Each structure stands twice: as structure tokens, then as C-alpha cells.
Structure 1
Amino acid sequence: MIIEQRIKEIFGERAFERPIFYTNPGGLRFELSEGGDWLEQFELAYKKALEICSTIFDDEIVVCIRIFGKESLMSVLSVLKELRHIGLYPSMKKEHWKEKNEDDPEWATDGDEYWHTVAFALPYNALNKLLWCSLACDQGIKPCPPAEYYLFDLKKSIEVWPYDDRGMDVVGPNHSLLTELYNKFSNYLLDYDREAMDASFQKMP
């Protein structure tokens, strides 16, 4: 379980505990969509996310796709098939792990519920599809396999969670890269959490 172990080594036990901006202090939270209709919101969110992520990723992207289902991986087979159909589920070199849904009342419906995580590496040119799927679900735009998409650069120790068209969290122990993003994309930062981000990254006078 190389990917799972590396994520735990770098990010600890809370890498997937949402919202990761609050559970992994010292990160960034970007506001993506603004006003307008659903298409204008999606287009702006996609443009901003791609601009930010193109600064972060330049090679391999480690992807963790988390799917909500029953204990068996077969319970999420339809999502896996959709991912494969759009080119986001390689045939080889994948990891799978699961954990029982204990603390997520937003998703809970009964006792037999699990988060399945499928992890693998994709080339940089998959970024467009990954962001599309991450941002499209709430807008009802297709294709959009129902899942959570977490993107990692394990060499740079950075995690990106585009949670929907509204925003995207970027966290990790790479303070220098986070500072670069804070300065470069300051106008994209979510004002609600700007005070916390300023405390972490703003230069003292």
C-alpha cells in the first residue's frame, strides 16, 4: 500500500477529513465560482482551478477517488465503470482501501456504509478531466461520476481538494509552495477565511 502509506506519512491521519482546510491547518482555501448562472459559475470555477493547479502540478498526479457505498467494492461498481469510460480509472497499478463511515452524518443513512478509496497515478494531462469531474457534480453537468476527488503531488507534499464549483482547498507541509500560491493567487482566496491564511502566510512588516 505505497500510496496510502505515503499519504499518512506526509499528511497524517486527517488527509481526507472534510473540510480539509479546517482539519489540516496552515493551508489555503480558494473561492472559485462567483455570480451568474450555472454555466458562468462552472466556467469560472474551472478556469480558476486549472490556473491554480497548473502552478502546482507539472508531472504525475496521484489521485485518490473516494466513493460512498456498502462494504463490498462491488457496491460502487457503476461509479468505477463510469470512471473507466471517461479515462479516469487505469486498468493496472491501483490501490484500494476502505473505512467504515462513522463520523460523517452528511452521508449516513444506515449502519452498512463505507468510504472506498481507489488510488493511482495519472499523467499531468488528466488534470482537465479531474477538475471537470470535481467541479461539475453540484451543477448536474455530465459526465460526473459521484465521488470525491483528492489530488496529490507526493514529491512536493501538497494535497488539493476541489470540493465543488464553489471552492478548492490546498494543504500540506510544503510551506514555501503554499506561500507562493498565497501571493500569486491572493485575489482568489476566500475572504471568509482570509484572516487565518494571512496569519500563516503574510509577511510581517
Structure 2
Amino acid sequence: MKLDQQILQDFGPSVFQRPLFYSYPAGLRFRLSESGNALELFLLALRRATLICKDIFADDPIVACLRKHSGTGHFEHRRTLQSLASAGVSIPNQRSIWSEEIDPEEWLHETSPECWLYLSFEVSASLLETLLWCALAKDFRKIQPNPGCDVYLFNLQKKVVVFPYDDRGMDVVGPNRELLSVLYKKHQSYLLDGDRHAMEISFNSP
């Protein structure tokens, strides 16, 4: 089965809706950074995200899914691939590429149709921190390498997906309620306070 088909089969179309935490039932939302300058925020977010994600992936392969707006020019898409290569991420021949139409009310320009472009591929768990770097660097122009796209990390074996949406936070969702419950209990101190009540209802109710 192709990666895009397996992702949509296991997680459903809502997995790419944003905010992911509010689109997918009974998920987790973690606080990644606190305060400081841009570099301090980025490095703290990277450390926390890596700590949590090691409990999700361990030695399991990672299916990375990159999402980028179609409105950017060909040069921008080429720059994304170049940034990935400079980070040590090689796109394997076995990959899935697809697109999703964007509602016309959400177009950045009214003159031409727009869509989300997706590229998914499987890599070794050894690239976990590198992929998290690529995900979190998106909003930091001076931090390189920086592919400038959304990065979703899927563990298809355990049926959990990680979405670091920026240096402030990271959503973790999926049908594997048992693993999510373990993460909820182990990483209590990193849960995002604004959504803690919703998570308590999902994972701490009798």
C-alpha cells in the first residue's frame, strides 16, 4: 500500500487539518519552549520534542510527511529539497506525492487555484532529531538548514503521528490510545496548560 493511502486509512482526512489537536479526538498537546531569545527557544523546543518523540519512535522507522503551499514558486520548492539534503535527509525513490485542494475562501491570491502539496517517505529512526530540527526551524529564518514546510512524523506501526507546529508546541494524536495514555502520564510537566483540562478528560477520567 502506498504511504499516502496508509496514512489516510489509519488516521483519516482530519490528520492534516489545523489545529490538529482540535481536529483529532483525544490527542495530546505539549509545550515545547518557555522564554528567551530565538536560539534559546529553538534549542529548548528541539530538546523537549526529541525527548518525547524517543518514547514514540524508539527504533521504529519514521514516515515523514512534508506539506508545502502550492503558491510558492519552483525555486522555493527546490530550496526545500536542498535544505533537506544539507540536513542529511535523502528522499528515497519509494515515496508518495499528492495534493489537496484548498478552499477558495482560504486562497492567498484570488486569481488562481491553490493547493497543499504533500511528500511522504520512510527513513530510519536515527534521523528523528534532524527531522524535528527541520520542523521547528520553519519560523526561524536565520536557523539553517530550514526547509520552510510543515513536517508530520508518523509511526505507522504504532499508529501515532507527531506534528510540531512551531517552537511553542507539538501535537501528538492517533488511534493508539494506550500509547497516548503512557505519554500523558510520563510527560505531565510538558502538557500545554491551556488544553490540560481537555487532556485530563480524555486520559485521566475513570
**TM more than 0.5:** yes
Q: Which residue of 2 aligns with 1:190?
A: 192
The alignment's C-alpha RMSD in Å is 2.1
Q: Measure the CA separation in 1 of the matches of 2:42 and 2:72.
A: 33
Amino acid at match of 2:14: R
- 1:146 maps to 2:148: yes
Q: Which residue of 2 aligns with 1:95?
A: 96
Q: Measure the CA separation in 2 of the matches of 1:68 and 1:54.
A: 29
Amino acid at match of 2:200: D
| TM-score computed with the length of structure 1 as normaliser | 0.91
- Give the deviation of 1:71 after TM superposition: 9.9
**What do the CA deviations read for 1:67-113 (whole angstroms, capped 9, x no partner)?**
112499887233223323322242411110011222783x6234332
Q: Secondary structure at the match of 1:163?
A: strand
Q: Measure the CA separation in 2 of the matches of 1:146 and 1:96.
A: 17
Amino acid at match of 1:87: G
Q: Which residue of 1 aligns with 2:118?
A: 117
> Retained in 2: the 8 A contact 1:68–1:114?
yes
Q: Which residue of 2 aligns with 1:158?
A: 160
> Retained in 2: the 8 A contact 1:69–1:75?
no
Matches within 5 A, 1:30-45: 30-45=30-45
Structure 2 residue runs of 5 or longer lacking an equivalent are none
- Going from structure 1 to structure 2, the CA distance change for 1:116 and 1:73 (only over 3 Å counts) comes to farther
Matches within 5 A, 1:74-89: 76-89=77-90
Q: Report % sequence identity.
A: 43
Q: Which residue of 2 aligns with 1:175?
A: 177
Q: Which residue of 2 aligns with 1:26?
A: 26
Q: Measure the CA separation in 1 of the matches of 2:132 and 2:157.
A: 20
**What do the CA deviations read for 1:106-150 (whole angstroms, capped 9, x no partner)?**
x62343322110010000011111111111222221111110000
Q: Deviating runs (4+, > 4 A) in structure 1?
A: 70-75
Structure 1 residue runs of 5 or longer lacking an equivalent are none
Amino acid at match of 2:180: L
Q: Measure the CA separation in 1 of the matches of 2:10 and 2:127.
A: 23
